[in-house]
Amino acid sequence: MKEVIQYFAKCNAIENREMLAVIEKSTPDPLAAPLTGYFFKTLGQLLEHVYLGDRHLVRMFLDIDTYGHDIDAESGALIEGSQPLFKNFKEFLEHRQKMDDFLIVYADSIQEADLFKTASRINRRGEKQEKVAWKAWLHVFNHQTHHRGQISNILDTMQIENNYSNLITIE
């Protein structure tokens, strides 16, 4: 199971990098790009949502074992509030890259037995959620994939060529 988590961590990092390169090349101000018909009103809000989701979900695993890792030190400490997290797309890219790097390094550190322990978190509604760790890991990667699919659709409607979802071509 550890090998699967490591593979998804690497693949998601590659796909995120490819997607963000398309966005950077084709969108003048990606964080402010308006979205119509989506829950998130701007592309920046959608990208921040995925980033924050990763951070919050990874804390579930850190409660099992940090393996000597510190998410704030390795991916950048954040002050969350009602304002956008990032001043500009370049700053977002730096944090996203650090988060993807953190996921890869952390996945490499995991002990196989820990993937069968229970990971838990408190959601925004104050409800406790528990999952076997390997299933929670798959949720992290599925969450990213879900939103990359939304972004792919957004780019399609803008007639911007994109294709960054081919796991079969990675390794």
Q: C-alpha 33: how far from its chain's center?
A: 19
Evaluate whether 26 touches 86 at the Cβ level (below 8 Å). no
pLDDT in tens, 2-35: 999 999 999 999 999 999 999 999 999 999 999 9
pLDDT given for residue 81 in this prediction: 62
pLDDT in tens, 96-106: 999 999 999 99
Looking only at the bridges linking them, the beta strands covering 118-122 and 128-132 are antiparallel
Residues in the chain: 171
Mind listing the domains of the chain with CATH numbers? Answer: 2-31+39-169 (1.20.120)
Pick out the chain residues at pLDDT < 50.
none
pLDDT given for residue 79 in this prediction: 63
Going 96 to 100 to 105 to 111, the CA torsion angle's sign is positive
CA distance 15 to 28: 21
pTM score: 0.90
Q: How many CA atoms lie within 13 A of 151 on its CB side?
A: 33
Listed in sequence order, the residues at least 6 apart from 92 whose beta carbon sits closer than 8 Å to its beta carbon are 30, 31, 44, 47, 48, 51, 85, 86
pLDDT given for residue 20 in this prediction: 96
Evaluate whether 104 touches 9 at the Cβ level (below 8 Å). yes
pLDDT given for residue 57 in this prediction: 87
pLDDT given for residue 41 in this prediction: 95
